[in-house]
């Protein structure tokens, strides 16, 4: 209402003091300005100056300023939590990623029943120490890491990083794994994951995940990598799309395994299915190549014995 009245009467809101909550200009402020004859909008050259500055303000990458946001809420309705260094770094890197990387997404459904059966069999066969503690305990996430690493080995053109001058083709699949920690997340890396047995990947991830939550990782343990896995299945998330984290060209978003109706041999059946979505950097991984990588990944998930040979 106040904005419309100001426009109808040719008033410049910047010259009017607001008496509403947090200094907002309300109807009575416009009426008072009209009575006092103040706030008339500038003309000609002076009026054009703010307009010329508008595009620069609109292009500001940080979005709304603190003052702009806080004016929308009552003083006693919020508290301010300063950004720590990790949150600032996450915000900066992901903003740069979405601004510079042309993302596209490919999703497939993978049946998990064979993988779950093999996982149970392998865990049951794990040797134990004198205290009865098993040498390893495989998770679905461990097997997902291995499957993605093997898929990148089989589709090497997707195991790349983009630079302005060259395509960097990696000789190994170094798989980063997103780990949630207080205040943000970090991505420890399983190096040369395509060459490691599942038991080694499992124990390595347990160690990396534990030290990540304690913020004790060394820089070389979370910097670099050639791809990443972000698994939200344990949070009952069905499917989602992740943001590519440079220098990676791909990241795999993994949803929850759940029982769904499927058609097999023309008949309705029930299977445990998870949806995965591959986010890719379109500059170096085209649609067909992304689909080829996902097909290779799905092959290992649905025929998990192939990960053991």
16 and 6 Cβ atoms separated by less than 8 Å:
yes
Residue 127 burial by Cβ neighbours in a 10 Å radius (0-12, 13-18, 19+)? exposed
Count other Cβ atoms within 10 Å, centred on residue 96. Answer: 12
282 is catalytic: yes
**Cα torsion for 304, 305, 308, 309, to the nearest 10°?**
-120
Residues 22, 83, 172, 282: which is the catalytic one? 282
| DSSP β-bridge partners for residue 104 | 280
Coarse DSSP helix, strand, coil percentages of the chain, rounded to the nearest 5 percent: 45, 20, 35
Output the CA angle 240-243-249, nearest 5 degrees: 120
Catalytic residues: 282
């Amino acid at each position: 209402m106040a904005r419309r009245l100001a426009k109808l009467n040719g008033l410049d809101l910047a010259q009017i003091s607001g008496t509403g909550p947090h200094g907002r200009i309300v109807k009575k402020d416009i009426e008072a300005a009209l009575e006092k004859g103040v706030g008339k909008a500038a003309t000609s050259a002076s009026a054009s100056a703010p307009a010329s500055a508008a595009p620069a303000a609109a292009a500001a990458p940080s979005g709304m300023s603190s003052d702009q946001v806080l004016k929308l809420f009552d003083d006693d309705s919020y508290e301010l939590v300063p950004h720590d260094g990790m949150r600032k770094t996450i915000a900066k890197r992901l903003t740069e990623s979405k601004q510079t990387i042309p993302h596209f997404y490919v999703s497939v459904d993978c049946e998990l029943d064979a993988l779950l059966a093999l996982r149970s069999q392998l865990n049951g066969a794990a040797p134990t120490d004198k205290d009865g503690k098993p040498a390893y305990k495989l998770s679905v996430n461990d097997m997902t890491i291995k499957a993605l690493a093997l898929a990148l080995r089989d589709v090497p053109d997707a195991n790349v990083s983009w630079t302005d001058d060259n395509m960097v083709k990696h000789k190994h699949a170094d798989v980063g794994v997103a780990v949630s920690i207080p205040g943000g997340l970090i991505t420890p890396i399983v190096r040369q994951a395509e060459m490691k047995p599942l038991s080694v990947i499992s124990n390595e991830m347990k160690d990396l995940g534990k030290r990540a939550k304690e913020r004790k990782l060394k820089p070389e343990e979370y910097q670099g990598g050639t791809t990443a896995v972000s698994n939200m299945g344990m949070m009952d998330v069905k499917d989602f799309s992740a943001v590519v984290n440079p220098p990676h060209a791909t990241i795999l978003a993994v949803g929850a395994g759940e029982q769904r109706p499927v058609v097999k041999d023309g008949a309705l059946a029930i299977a445990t299915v998870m949806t995965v979505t591959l986010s890719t950097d379109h500059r170096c991984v085209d649609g067909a190549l992304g689909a080829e990588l996902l097909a290779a990944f799905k092959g290992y998930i649905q025929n998990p014995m192939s990960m053991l040979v």
